[in-house]
Amino acid sequence: MLSRWFGRGRRGDSPQGLAVAPCDARASQVESGGARLDLAANAEWHEGLPFPDWASVHGWVDGLDAGLRGEAWLACERGWLAWLGSCLGPGYRLYESDSALLLSAQPERYAGLAASYMATTARRVCAALEELAGDAELGKDILIVLADQDSYYRFISRLYPDEGEWGMSSGMHVSDGCQYFLTWQDDLRQMEPVIAHEMTHGFLAHLPLPTWLNEGIAVNTEYRLAGGGPVAWQAQELLDRHRGYWTPDSIQAFWSGAAFLRPDQAQELAYDLGRVMVGALAQDWAAFKRFVLAADRSDAGQAAALAQLDLDLGDCVSSLLDGRESPALGPRPVCWASE
């Protein structure tokens, strides 16, 4: 059983203090406190990769004594990751620190640095978000680092419809019953902003946020913690493109969230507009937090903005783009059915 492999791990031998376990399909047989679960019994397979039925896993864990649930859930996380690693190919190892699980084909040294960065970033994201940050009751932070871009898109293809064109991606936060972060970057310096961005999504996952607000907070947090962001001439160029692109009709894809998935310039502009919107609204941090806690994706946060900020979102966008107020750029949920 995987818990036994970790029990014999090389925590004392690892310079990063990581326990290391091999990846093996037998890890799908989970044991914790004398209770056993076969993760493969109700798993879905996609592109040769296994994905447990997490609702069944939750049911199994909830049926245990309260004192056993934490370790049982952690055993399921370990079991799936070690099983998944065996299906991804040779070279993958499962690393564990006090706060994180990391599935990666990277050398142990880089895995240790990534785990350390995850722990530091989690603390910094919590501090930045304050009471907006939710806290998972069970398990550890999970980061899956795919060996290459092809493996990454093979993994995430299950999250998209069979037909359509979608924007590029370098990282993702997934919450399908088990929360985890994905990336395919090999260089930790490239991974750092992805981890900061996706970890912010993880801490906000308990809130029914509209996509623009969720992404806007994540981008601003990423830039704050890992650096980046447009320089002055890029910001002016982006502003000119915003002015030329957004209309009362086109901006509905921003409010609905559809623009964030598109393969054209709409995706880039949507992320940037979300960043700018959040940067402006968060100037009054106390009021902004009340807005975030009240915002709902069903109307893109319009009712919460009116109640908590005394602000129409359409007026906010138009004033940021051309200095004038125009509610015509506001969200119209009735138009979103086709998005």
Q: Which residue has the tokens 């991606």?
A: 169
Mean pLDDT of 149-172: 79
Distance set, CA 142 to CA 66, 118, 271 (Å): 23, 9, 25
Residue 222 has pLDDT above 90, yes or no: yes
Residue 76 has what pLDDT? 96
| Residue that wins the pLDDT comparison between 9 and 140 | 140
Contact 82, 19 (CB under 8 A): no
Residues of the chain above pLDDT 70, percent: 89
Residue 140 has pLDDT above 70, yes or no: yes
Residue 182 has pLDDT above 90, yes or no: no
Lowest mean pLDDT among 43-52, 116-125, 175-184, 185-194: 185-194
| Residue that wins the pLDDT comparison between 76 and 6 | 76
pLDDT in tens, 252-267: 999 999 999 888 899 9
Mean pLDDT of 289-312: 97
Residue 112 has pLDDT above 50, yes or no: yes
Residue 34 has what pLDDT? 86
Mean pLDDT of 259-286: 94
Give one DSSP letter per residue of 194-235, joined into a string: HHHHHHHHHHHTTS---HHHHHHHHHHHHHHHH-----HHHH
Residue 167 has what pLDDT? 61
Residue 10 has what pLDDT? 30
* 149-158, long-range: CB < 8 A, 24+ apart: 149/184, 151/88, 151/89, 151/184, 152/182, 152/183, 152/184, 154/47, 154/49, 155/47, 155/49, 155/182, 156/182, 157/46, 157/47, 158/44, 158/46, 158/47, 158/49, 158/51
| In the chain, beta strands by DSSP E | 19-22, 29-32, 35-38, 44-46, 49-51, 93-96, 100-104, 141-145, 171-175, 179-183
Closest C-alpha to 143, from 134, 135, 152 = 152
Residue 53 has what pLDDT? 96
d(CA 214, CA 254): 12
Residue 231 has what pLDDT? 65
Mean pLDDT of 31-51: 92
Q: What is the mean pLDDT of the chain?
A: 87
Mean pLDDT of 134-156: 87
Mean pLDDT of 313-327: 85
d(CA 179, CA 208): 16
| Residue that wins the pLDDT comparison between 18 and 63 | 63
Residue 3 has what pLDDT? 34
Mean pLDDT of 149-164: 83
What's the pLDDT band for 15 if we cut at 50, 70, 90?
very low
Residue 14 has what pLDDT? 41
Strand 49-51 versus strand 44-46 pairing type: antiparallel
What residue spans define the domains of the chain?
2-204, 211-338
Among 102-116, 154-168, 186-200, 223-237, the range of highest mean pLDDT: 102-116
